[in-house]
Structure 1
Amino acid sequence: MTGARILRDIMRSGKLWKWHLLLLVWVLLQQYPTGSLASEGADGQTERPQAFPLIVQSCFPCHGPQGQSRSPAIPSLAGLPRDYLLKVLRSFSHGGRFGTVMGRLVQGYDEGDFIVMADYFSQQSFTIPRQTTDWRLVDRGRVLHRRYCRDCHGDPETPSEAGVPHLHGGWMDYLRWTLWDYLVGVNQGDDEMADQLSLLMRRHGTKGVEALLHYYANGEP
């Protein structure tokens, strides 16, 4: 039975249980070559793959090995603040955040699992993926970021507030969908974020949002 078949059967069922998810993970992880979870030693020889907590491996098929996503539609988890990861997982669990499958998948985990995941992914290194951007939008987005977003989210030269993620290097497609979810109220952010997004939209419209996205995708200060 393929991983896609198992996922489809789980999504059709009335409930999701942790063991169903772990079975899905086991099947999907077989699709990754061993080298994707291995590292190269100083002598050029491939070392044995690092052992990961099983509950953390359940995130790898979608969010990538060690939380480094390879899909523009799925965010990387590596390096995100621990408190932010916990907040997002709890929001999915309670219906305060929208996701195509996460709202249902997260029901198979408990608070202890959330803590293990947040601890693990917050300690992983994040590598900025290469994306195609328009330099004119990048320049405009840099100005808008400094005006509306940097005080909380920081940038490569400025630390973010505690528990607030950096946005630089995020996948453009994912950030676009997520920002619109916040703008229309599907996702629930704090009051300050809602105020800043609303102000940005009133003054600069959709072109301003797109400029921000190109700036973040560029990944540079």
Structure 2
Amino acid sequence: MLMKISRFKWALSAAALAMSASAFAAPPTPAMLANACGGCHGTNGASAGPSMPSLAGHSKESIVTAMKKFKSGERPATVMGRLAKGYSDADFAAMGDYFSKQKFHITSQALDAAKVARGKSLEEESCSRCHMESGKEGKDDSPIMASQWLPYLQIQMDQYLSGHRKMPEKMAEKVKPLSKQDLDALLQFYASVK
């Protein structure tokens, strides 16, 4: 009987210690939260994979907005929807703040020079009010388009055009009149910006 009580006290003490240790653990830092993104989005948000966007240099607002849309299911996703559900709005803000302070990442990819030139004129006519400085800056929560991987940009545009992802009204007004060739040229331009 005495041995049973001792085991119980030992187990109770161990549980109390474990709970008190976790209660005093420091909350994750913004860098720790952002490091969780590195497997897909690259170290410090500099993507090396053509289907993943770079996050480095994005505005805090664009990161927070995207994460909230992934979490709510408003923005379609495979993995991101599930991942976003594990984070709070404060975590999103910390991640956004961290990535906004990282150096803008420039990709190196083969592109069609003629399409890039055509895309530049289309961008100036249609997109520069929200995707400013040739896509290097986004107005409010608009993402950085410049130097993103072309396959990633194509995937996102396909989601918009198919209705799988809701296109903002201002964007729809500008995109709908464009041909498939125009859109390809526009995306080639954005991918080319350094």
- Aligned residue for 1:69? 47
Question: 1:150–1:160: 8 Å Cα contact kept in structure 2?
Answer: no
Q: Does the C-alpha gap of structure 1 residues 157 and 122 become closer, same or farther in structure 2, counting only changes over 3 Å? A: closer
Q: Which residue of 2 aligns with 1:92?
A: 70
Give the alignment of 1:6-21 within 5 angstroms. none
How do 1:44-193 and structure 2 match up within 5 A? Answer: 53-156=31-134, 160-193=138-171
Query: Which residue identity does 2:140 align to in structure 1?
Result: A
Q: Deviations over 1:159-187 (max 9, x none)?
A: 64233233111110000000111122222
2:190 is the counterpart of 1:212: no
Higher RCO (C-alpha under 8 Å, 6+ residues apart): 2
Residue 41 (structure 1) aligns with: none
Note the residue ranges of structure 1 that are not aligned, 5 or more in a row.
Answer: 1-50
Task: Tell me the CA shift for residue 118 of structure 1.
Answer: 0.7
- TM-score normalised per structure 2: 0.79
1:38-79 Cα shifts (integer Å, max 9, x gaps): xxxxxxxxxxxxx96322211111111100000011000010
The residue identity in structure 1 corresponding to 2:153 is L
Give the gaps of 5 or more residues in structure 2.
1-28
Q: Give yes or no for contact 2:54–2:105 (8 Å, CA) kept in 1.
A: no
TM-score by length of 1: 0.70
2:126 maps to a residue whose letter is: Y
Q: C-alpha displacement at 1:117, in angstroms?
A: 0.6
Distance 1:60 1:132 in 2: 24
User: Would the alpha carbon gap of residues 192 and 76 (structure 1) be closer, same or farther in structure 2, given more than 3 Å must change?
Assistant: same
CA distance in 2, matches of 1:95, 1:214: 29
Q: Contact 1:83–1:118 (CA<8 Å) still a contact in 2?
A: yes
Structure 1 stretches of 4+ moved >3 Å: 156-160
Measured after TM superposition, the shift of residue 111 of structure 1 is 1.2
Sequence identity, in percent? 34
Tell me if the contact between 1:74 and 1:174 (Cα under 8 Å) persists in the aligned partners: yes
Partner of 1:13: none
CA RMSD of aligned residues (A): 1.9
- Structure 1 residues 158 and 129: alpha-carbon distance in aligned structure 2, compared to 1, 3 A threshold: closer
- Distance of 2:172 and 2:141 partners within structure 1: 17
